[in-house]
A and B are shown apart, each in its own frame.
Chain A
Amino acid sequence: MIELDRRLFLKSAALIGCSAAAHPLMTSMTFASVPSDNRLVVIILRGAMDGLDVIQPYGDPMLAKLRQQISTGPDNGALDLDGFYALHPKLQPLMPLWQKGELAFAHAVSTPYRDKRSHFDGQDLLEAGTGNDLPVDNQVGGWLNRLLQSMPQTSAETAYAVGVEQMRILSGQAAHLSWAPRASLTLSPQAQMLLEHVYHDDPLFRDAARDAVRIGSETEMGERAQGPTGDAVALGNFAANRLNGESRIAAFSIAGWDTHANQSQTLGRSLDRLAAAILALRDGLGQNWQRTTVLAMTEFGRTVRENGSAGTDHGTGGAMLMAGGAIRGGRAFGDWPGLGDGQLYADRDLMPTRDIRAYAAWAMRGLFGTDREMLERSIFPGLDLGGDPKMLA
């Protein structure tokens, strides 16, 4: 009996990393060189952000005709950007970034998703990065995962899904890690060994436990941010911490954009969180901020007209925000389609003038040198990359 126990003990001990050389992931993590010095952060804004309110095209005279209670332009506190567009007043904390050329946006963008306007399908498609012609299911995985598969010299540490929820944008064959900024795990060595044994034949539990033990030991709890933006700050801080190490890609999400009613209040709270997360990234990244591109993307835009409850309903074209020291900011990207008769999509939504994936693709091309064929065939199958918007500095 004793001999049997000892044999199993040794097997288990190897599994929990007493012997790092025997541990495939540990090995690659320890010895791999990082694939690039550039960093990409993708923030998924769940619930369909109203691009027309966040970046208000007040220079289009139709805007004031379609909306009276929201998106009311610089006369009501929005921050003029270039004489045509104005920033929602709640994004005031990001104005210094705009002035430094570290904040930009692309308007009238969308995924290929059309017409049914379901959040869940819309988000699935945004994170899958596919066109409408492919069935979206769990097998497809996310486009950041396919980016990882295309990069040399990656390890699981290269990409992080940050936060309590799972990020489909990173799901797929390439290994990546996930962690919530406020988790912690302390086990006695014996309990850890026994648990590894119990989880050994169940890869889902085995891998998650191994990562939990390791990440927990590497990241301190840190000062706990309080208040309504506390969670967003924690997400930004943790992502920055990892990106300052060996990670180069991070993804997290901020929910709360489904503003069917009382939009000025609900949108304001979400914008507070978005601004807080971006500033936490900038502050946490220090010098590395100069090599960082942040893309904030949402599943679709919202109706151009206000609805009956001072809100907006699900639409089509929207806006994408970009931030970071690596971008050529302080400017608007994309063609403005207009809001007049015949210029709307289905007579209700902002007409998309460019596929949102094209911007993400050009960002990856600039940051990681991903080639065009890979982007158009594999990472975003069926995408026409189009001309270079020159969004990176």
Chain B
Amino acid sequence: MTFGFPELAAIRLGYGLSPLMPPPKDAAAVLAAVDTAGPGPEAVTTDKAREMSLRLADLTKARKDGGEAEKLEYQVYNRELSRMLVRDLQRRMVRAVDDPVGFGERLVQFWADHFTVAPMSSGNQPLAMAFVDEAIRPHVNGRFEDMFFAADTHPMMLLYLNQNSSRGPNSPFAKRRPEKDFGLNENLAREAMELHSLGVGAPYTQDDVRQLAELLTGLGYTSREGFTFKPQMAEPGAETVLGKSYGGQRRGGLQDIQAAFRDIARRPETAQFVSRKLAVHFISDDPSDALVQAMAATWRDTGGDLPQVYRVMVTHADLASDMRKKVRQPFDLLVSGYRALGITGDDLMALDFPQLPSQTFDTMNRMGQPWSRQTGPDGWPEHADAWIAPQMLAARINWSLQMPSRMLKRQLPDPREFLQTALGGTHSEQLAWAVPKAESEVEGVALVLASTDFNRR
């Protein structure tokens, strides 16, 4: 194995090598490219998502009172909405496949998973897309506290973690309706601390969770009203979270919440927990203390300025020494496979139903990564063995055998050349020995895609 930083960076920090674009030449090129991960022209807004959700509600109503025409109109629209889950996967793949460096899109995947949301119904799918475009992409190259606040107050998060149904037990709204027993829902407050910032090992208590939950009361979203802060639903009085008081006599609404989030974001426990999570995702399931401490120190010194934290990771010696310590998650594997074969975003955009879901969504399902269907707000697992159980590896091997002939309109590449294109100087001797012995081009190309070299990074 002889390879330099460009191949290392493309494979470990991006979506692998491509015959269509050169790998980044140095760390500066990797970091500079993160800026391209902002919202694109295809971005979905909360307003657009509201409009779609309202239209569905209207059509649902019209169907009840109407005849065949209304029924048909509803069915067509509802089907369009239910297909947006797969469309979302498609557009995320398109950007990843076409991104020359890939680090920015990898970071979008990381942060969208760190702040996991999952639409509970097809009517919420556009809002889940807006979540990434509005709360994640604008802040990927910015400050953690801004992303933290944007993500945890975004309408999709309010729905996903039940903030929408949390009311201050002593709020005017609840007091006027004692028979309804309106009360607090702690879900968002708990995950904001446990999963999104401090980490479960941090010294916070059930009381901190409850007080933050009380501070969050008043936040809400409905498709009719949009995002709202309703003081009449907010718990009156100040709340003390981790020893600091927020709210005082008069509730400042969103500003108090933002202040609490900023303080939590800047705590050393958050620097440590989120730095380690980044290192676990990009470098190793078990990253070195040296790397994590260096990242956390920069986090503390800069108040969580993400580009500077990334720089520590991208320029660290562990990037090279921990090569192949990570298993590519199914999304990464599919995108890397497309890139290696020279399949472009346009090729992916040309896919339509039913080939589109069968090539992408269903394949990832079998590999254990059902898109937007994480089992909980802790998102996808990181450990290698979570992705390589027999049934999942079977799905990876099957994909390696079938995908290239289905996706390439031209002839398959010569497997020996494909080995170089896909892995450059990083491939193992075993793989170089095996590939020329394959009985067919299909199996030769599949060996590369199914190899440990390609499935690890």
Q: Which residues of A contact B (CB under 8 A)?
A: 5, 8, 46-47, 68, 115-121, 138, 161, 164-166, 171, 177-180, 182-185, 187-188, 190-191, 194-195, 197-202, 204-205, 208-209, 211-212, 215-216, 255, 258, 260-261, 305-309, 311, 313-314, 346
| Contact status B185-A309, CB under 8 Å | yes
Could you tell me the distance between the alpha carbons of A161 and B453 in the complex, rounded to whole angstroms?
27
Given contacts A185-B397, A200-B430, contact A194 B447 (CB under 8 A): yes
How far, in Å, is A240 (CB) from chain B's closest CB?
17
Residue in A46, A115, A208 whose beta carbon sits within 8 Å of that of B393 in the complex = A208
Pair B167/A308 contact, Cβ less than 8 Å: yes
Please classify the interface of chain A as helix (H, G, I), strand (E, B), loop, or mixed, using the class held by over half of its residues. Answer: loop
User: Is B35's beta carbon under 8 Å from chain A?
Assistant: no
Check if B394 sits within 8 Å of A117, measured CB to CB: no
By a CB distance below 8 angstroms, the chain B residues around A164 are 365-366, 368, 389, 391-392
| Chain B residues, Cβ within 8 Å of A195 | 397, 434, 447, 450
> How many A-B contacts are there with CB distance less than 8 Å?
162
Residue of A nearest to B434 (CB): A194
- Chain A to chain B contacts (Cβ below 8 Å), 24 pairs: A68-B181, A117-B206, A119-B376, A171-B385, A179-B389, A185-B397, A191-B438, A194-B434, A194-B437, A194-B438, A198-B431, A198-B447, A198-B452, A204-B327, A204-B388, A205-B455, A209-B390, A216-B394, A260-B187, A307-B184, A308-B182, A308-B183, A309-B165, A311-B162
List the B side residues contacting A346 at CB < 8 Å.
206
Q: Which interface class (under 10, 10 to 19, 20 to 34, 35 or more) fits B?
A: 35 or more
Interface residues of chain B: helix, strand, loop or mixed (majority): helix
Interface core residue of A121, A177, A215, A308 (most chain B CB under 10 Å): A308
Contact A202 B452 (CB under 8 A): yes
Are A183 and B162 closer than 8 Å at their CB atoms? Answer: no
Contact B200 A121 (CB under 8 A): yes
Interface members, chain B 40-54 (any A CB < 8 Å):
none
Measured between alpha carbons, how far is A248 from B393 in the docked complex, in Å? 25
Task: Pick the 9 closest A-B CB pairs, nearest first.
Answer: A309-B165, A180-B391, A183-B391, A212-B390, A185-B394, A308-B182, A211-B390, A212-B394, A260-B162
Query: Which of these, A171, A179, A211, A307, contacts B185 with CB under 8 Å?
Result: A307
A191 and B447 contact, Cβ closer than 8 Å, known pairs A198-B434, A198-B452, A313-B185: yes
Which residues in chain B, 423-452, are within 8 Å of chain A measured between CB atoms?
A: 428, 430-431, 433-434, 437-439, 443, 446-447, 450-452
Contacts of A313 in B (CB 8 A): 185-187
Query: B396 to chain A: closest CB distance in Å?
Result: 9
Residue of B nearest to A309 (CB): B165
Complex Cα–Cα for A201 and B439 (A): 23
Q: Is the CB of A116 within 8 A of B200?
A: yes
Q: Which residues of A contact B390 (CB under 8 A)?
A: 177-179, 183, 208-209, 211-212, 215
